[in-house]
Structure 1
Amino acid sequence: MAHLVLLGIVYISFISLGLPDGILGVAWPAIRADMGQPLAAVGMITITMTVCSATSSFFAGAIVKRIGTGAVVATSCLMTALALVGFSYAPSFLWLVALGVPLGLGAGAVDASLNHFVAAHYSSRHMNWLHGFWGVGATTGPLIMGLALASRGGWESGARAIGFVQLTLAVVLWLTLSLWSQEHSKPPAEEGEHGKPTTFKPLRTRALWLAPLCFLLYVAAEMGTGLWAASILVGSRGMSPVNAGLWVSVYFGSITAGRFGVGLVANRLGNRRLIRLGIAVATVGALVFASHSLLGTASLAGLVLMGLGCAPVFPSMMHETVRRFPDDVARTVIGRQMTFAYIGGSVVPAAFGLLATWAGLAAVMPVVVVVLITMLALTATLDRLT
């Protein structure tokens, strides 16, 4: 029973990780209007958060050894909660940038420690579902922010509401710390998992860097779309901020639904097939969303397609790493993958902002299509090398 309760706590923790991820893109049109900032200024916040997330992820293993996974997750959730509440009272843009520090530190620590914990104690099916619960948070966050934008409280009330949700989750985590110390068993590997002996091809140096580069491109496409979709819908297609927020929620909701579905069939289809299929569907979705001038409102279906395509890619790529490389090499590659993922989630979307300033918001999605096509080609190369 304690095993199942702890699994529920782990899922709740990843919901808390996902809650803030989609709200900045939804709130940014209103924030920059209130604070008189240019379109690309959001990059200062995202880069700050990314540097802090990468730093806390790098040191998370050492910290977990000292105080335990439960304490790290509970403390990190509290940090993000206080940062979000602080967002709602920030008197200037520089305060938003500064609050990105605790928000990034908390998110990075939860991400690294929980991914390691689930990989060590649960099956690959639960790894896919873990990222599905991240999607629950990433879907709920923009929905809350969209409703707040429609109210008198504005984006401030949205950040405050999500901060209070995080505070509630932090209390739950602190009250259940004893459960983490009781989890010592590791379920047997399921059919199709890496518990069975694997024959590796001779290592190629290119493969050691191609795998992380694929993570950079994937996260750039997924998070870049999540960050700029609302601005595209409001700024170049005339949609209201409330409706734009709802469509961003639909996008993240599609990722969530897809990941729960993938968890049921992942062992049967295999990681590599899921990765290729997911990238292909996401590419079609991005192309449809970019084709507003041809398809009109039907182009919104592209966000659903792209979300469904994105669903299996990140968990499957992470799980496939231990199949591509021997264990000692895989640990190094996974570290590189997380670092490159954070770069892809911050620097590239920030560059999209510069692109939008120079060429217009309509230029963002065609670039996302190019990123996904490039990733598909690199993935095929990586499959041949490993």
Structure 2
Amino acid sequence: MAHLLLLAIVYVSFVSLGLPDAVMGVIWPAMREDLGQPLAAVGVLTITMTVCAALSAGFAGRIVARVGTGVVVAASCLMTALALVGFSVAPSFAWLVLLGIPLGAGGGAVDASLNHFVAAHYSSRHMNWLHGFWGVGATTGPAVMGLALASPGGWTRGVLTLGLAQLTLAVLLWSTLSLWRRERSHPTDAAAVDEPPVVFKPVSRRALWLAPLCFLFYVAAEMGTGLWAASILVNSRGTSLAQAGFWVSVYFGSITAGRFGVGLVSNRLGNRRLVGLGVALALAGATLFALPGLPAALSLAGLVLMGLGCAPVFPSLMHEAARRFPADVARTVIGRQMMAAYAGGSVIPAAFGLLATWVGLGAVMPVVVVLLIALLWATRSLDRLT
């Protein structure tokens, strides 16, 4: 019973992690007007949060080794809760940037530590469902903000609501720290117990860097498509703004739904096979979406197909890290993977903007196709080394 309760807490923690991830784009137009900031100022805030998240994810493994996952997750959740509450009363943009430091650092620490915890203690099914619950949070956050923007309190009320929700979770996490003490024992997940014992190859230095590189390629392709798909549809395919927004939502929805679906079969198929199938499907979908002149229905089907292909890649690669490397090495590698994921999700999609300006929007998806081909090469090389 305690095992199931802990699993439920882990899932809720990942819903909470996803809640603030997609809200900045929703509230920034109103926020910048209230604070008298230019449109581009959001870049300072997002870069601050991303850098802090990447750094904390990189160091999370060392801290977890000393104090345990439960303490790291509870403390990080409290930190993000207080930062969000601070956002709702911040008197100036400078305060938002300062509060972005604990908000990003807390999110990065939770991300890395929970990914390692589930990879080490639960089956592939739960890793896929874990990231499906992140999608639930990332979908719910903008909806909450939309309701808040339509209310008298505006964006401050919405951010305060998210902050209080995080604060409630922090209290729950601190009160259930005893459940996390079992983390130092062997996994008790029935599916994990049935797995054959893992025999590790000698750790290859090349593998230690190929593993993060996979995440750089994957997240750059996924987030780059999510960021620029609407612009491509509107400017190159003649789609209306409303329709473009709908299809981008369908793209992210297909990733979330795909992860819940993949969780039903992941234990039978295995991580490596799921990654190969997912990348191949995503590559086919991205190629369809990249080709100009195709019928609209076929092009949009390619976007959805890419989302479905993306679904198992991140969780399966993350879960496999605990099977590629010994426990002490896996903890460090997962931290590096999260750092690479943050870099891939911020730097490269932003660079697509420069590419679109200099060459045209039509160049974005061919680069995504190249990234997916590079991902296929990197995962195959990593499989041979580990």
Equivalent residue, structure 2, for 1:22: 22
| Aligned position for 1:187 | 188
The percentage of counterpart residues that share the same residue type is 72
Cα shift at 1:80: 2.2
Instruction: Report what 1:279 is aligned to.
Output: 279
How many residues are paired up? Answer: 382
CA gap 1:234/1:22 in 2 versus in 1, 3 angstroms: farther
After TM superposition, give the deviation of residue 25 of structure 1 in Å.
Answer: 4.5
- 8 A contact 1:16–1:134 mirrored in 2: yes
1:26-37 matched pairs, under 5 angstroms:
26=26, 35-37=37-39
1:261 — aligned with what? 261
Aligned residues of 1:85 and 1:163 also touching (Cα < 8 A): yes
Q: Is the 8 A contact 2:58 2:332 kept in 1?
A: no
1:313 is aligned to 2:308: no
Q: CA deviation at 1:9?
A: 0.9
User: Counterpart amino acid of 1:35?
Assistant: Q
Q: Distance in 1 between matches of 2:64 and 2:302?
A: 41
Partner of 1:198: 199
The Cα of 1:287 is off from its aligned counterpart by 3.7
Query: Given that residues 22 and 227 in structure 1 are in contact (C-alpha distance below 8 angstroms), is that contact kept between their aligned partners in structure 2?
Result: no
CA shift for structure 1 position 13: 0.5
Separation in structure 2 between the aligned mates of residue 248 and residue 163 of structure 1, nearest angstrom: 27
Contact in 2 for aligned 1:43/1:347 (Cα 8 Å)? no
Query: Do residues 81 (structure 1) and 97 (structure 2) align?
Result: no
User: 1:385/1:76 Cα in 2 relative to 1: closer, same or farther (>3 Å)?
Assistant: closer
SS at 1:35 equivalent: coil
Is the 2:70–2:177 contact (alpha carbons within 8 Å) kept by the matching residues of 1?
yes
Contact 2:16–2:134, Cα closer than 8 Å, also in 1: yes
Question: Take 1:188 and 1:147, find their aligned partners in 2: how far apart are those partners?
Answer: 39
Counterparts of 1:247 and 1:26, CA distance in 2: 17
1:355 aligns with 2:355: yes
Query: What residue identity is the alignment partner of 1:252?
Result: F
Instruction: Write the distance in 1 (CA, Å) between the matches of 2:67 and 2:106.
Output: 15
Letter in 1 for 2:39: Q
Which has the larger displacement, 129-138 or 219-228? 219-228
* Counterpart position of 2:218: 218
For the residues of structure 2 that align with 1:164 and 1:247, how far apart are their CA atoms? Answer: 32
1:73-152 counterparts in 2 under 5 A?
A: 73-87=73-87, 94-145=94-145
Asked if residue 375 in structure 1 is aligned to residue 356 in structure 2, the reply is no
CA contact (8 A) 2:121 2:192 kept: no
Change in Cα spacing, 1:191 to 1:54, as seen in structure 2 (3 Å) is closer
TM-superposed deviation, 1:203? 5.9
Inter-partner Cα distance in structure 1 for 2:359 and 2:60 = 40
1:229-278, Cα deviation, whole Å (9 max, x unpaired): 4566677766447x666544433332222122222211221222211111
Q: Secondary structure at the match of 1:105?
A: helix
The residue aligned with 1:343 is 343
Query: Counterpart of 2:20 in 1: which secondary structure?
Result: coil
Using the TM superposition, name which of 133-142 and 115-124 deviates more: 115-124
Quick one: distance in 1 between partners of 2:311 and 2:288? 18
Checking the alignment, whether the CA contact within 8 Å between 2:279 and 2:310 is kept in structure 1 is yes
The corresponding residue for 1:48 is: 48
- 1:273–1:287 Cα change, 3 Å: same
1:308 is displaced (CA, Å) by 1.5
RMSD: 3.7
Q: What residue ranges of structure 1 are gaps of 5+ in the alignment?
A: none
CA contact (8 A) 1:26 1:230 kept: no
- CA separation in 2, counterparts of 1:67 and 1:216? 29
3-state SS, counterpart of residue 265 of structure 2: helix
Is residue 35 of structure 2 the alignment partner of residue 13 of structure 1? no
Following superposition, the deviation at residue 209 of structure 1 comes to 2.4
Comparing 56-65 with 232-241, greater Cα deviation is found at 232-241
